[in-house]
């Protein structure tokens, strides 16, 4: 396996932490809300056997800075464009999980010239439905309630977590582990503030507020892979099926028995699938004229 190197860069005065490994064409891995680049640990070294792999902690997450700033999808896409420029990467296959999927679509929309392929893993931004936990956290005043919940939960973090989350439809395993790790991170005030701003940019009490469905036709110029677990409790697998129907030429892979993190539930299958997708597709090369023509059409 290729060794994974933790590194950091400074963008506009803020530290961005990232992991990288390998050589060759670039694969950019984007994690979900309250998560970090560590969610890709089971797949990153193996992908790096054939590609340069870059997995940043998004601004407001993990070891990256958590400033008072804009945490919208567009702002994240701008930051990733700048990170790629600093690191000298001109084009990438962008892979986004959950919130990262919404950011990946935004990056492909704002900067199509940067994106060779688009891979959406249990992606946000493809429909209204989302788990009640996230809708509740988007309620007005949640920033005042979360500190109390975190303090109470941290007193007995392990004992009640699996039972509580199981009642909300999540199986013991990676779904519970990831959600619980994200929940406990909110005890930190800076993490909590960044979480609330990030969440409210994409979710409201009635469901997801940002939807890319009206622009999915634009992926006609870009090879697209959609990956979902058929037991995803956070975002319904039907979002993936609907997106596949709306994205010309896209490929859909549903992992039977997997939850919200198919790349962790079945890492080997995910690695083989992604490597095959990259090897079997030609990278998109979108210029301004082609983009204008597609939008007008």
pLDDT in tens, 22-63: 999 999 999 999 899 999 999 999 999 999 999 999 999 999
Same domain, 161 and 227: no
pLDDT value for 147: 59
Picking from 170, 204, 238, the residue at the C-terminal end of a domain is 204
In terms of residue numbers, what domain contains 160?
Answer: 132-204
Q: Where are the beta strands (DSSP E) in the chain?
A: 5-11, 14-21, 26-30, 52-56, 92-97, 115-121, 203-204, 207-208, 224-229, 251-255
Tally the domains of the chain: 2
Same domain, 123 and 136: no
Domain of 107: which CATH number?
A: 3.40.50.1820
Q: Which residues are catalytic?
A: 98, 232, 260
Average pLDDT, the chain: 88
Longest CA span, the chain: 58
pLDDT value for 167: 53
Same domain, 175 and 222: no
- β-pairing, 26-30 vs 92-97, is parallel
Same domain, 170 and 55: no
SS3 220: helix
d(CA 57, CA 51): 19
Task: Give me the percent of the chain exceeding a pLDDT of 70.
Answer: 85
pLDDT value for 196: 87
Picking from 151, 183, 204, the residue at the C-terminal end of a domain is 204
Geometric angle at alpha carbon 54, from 51 and 56, rounded to 5°: 165
pLDDT in tens, 183-195: 667 778 888 888 8
pLDDT value for 5: 87
């Amino acid at each position: 396996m290729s060794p994974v190197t933790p590194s950091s860069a400074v963008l506009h005065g803020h530290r961005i932490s990232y992991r990288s490994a390998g050589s060759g064409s670039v694969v950019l891995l984007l994690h979900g809300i309250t998560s970090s680049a560590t969610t890709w640990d089971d797949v990153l070294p193996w992908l790096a056997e054939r590609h340069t792999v870059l997995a940043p902690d998004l601004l407001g997450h993990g070891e990256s800075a958590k400033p008072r700033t804009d945490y919208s999808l567009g702002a994240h896409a701008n930051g990733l464009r700048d990170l790629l420029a600093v690191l000298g990467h001109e084009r990438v296959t962008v892979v986004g999980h959950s919130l990262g999927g919404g950011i990946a679509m935004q990056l492909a929309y704002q900067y199509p010239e940067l994106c060779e392929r688009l891979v959406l893993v249990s992606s946000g931004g493809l429909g209204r439905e989302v788990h009640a936990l996230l809708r509740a956290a988007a309620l007005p005043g949640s920033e005042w309630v979360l500190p109390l919940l975190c303090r109470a939960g941290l007193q007995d973090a392990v004992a009640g977590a699996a039972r509580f989350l199981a009642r909300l439809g999540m199986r013991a395993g990676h779904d519970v582990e990831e959600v619980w790790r994200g929940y406990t991170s909110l005890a930190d005030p800076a993490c909590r503030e960044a979480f609330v701003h990030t969440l409210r940019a994409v979710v409201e009490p009635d469901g997801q507020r940002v939807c890319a469905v009206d622009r999915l036709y634009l992926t006609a110029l870009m090879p697209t892979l959609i990956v979902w677990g058929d037991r995803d409790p956070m975002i319904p697998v039907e979002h993936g099926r609907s997106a596949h129907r709306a994205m010309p030429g896209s490929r859909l892979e549903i992992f039977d028995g997997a939850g919200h993190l198919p790349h962790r539930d079945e890492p080997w299958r995910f690695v083989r699938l992604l490597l095959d997708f990259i090897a079997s597709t030609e990278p998109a090369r979108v210029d301004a004229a082609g983009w204008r023509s597609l939008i007008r059409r």
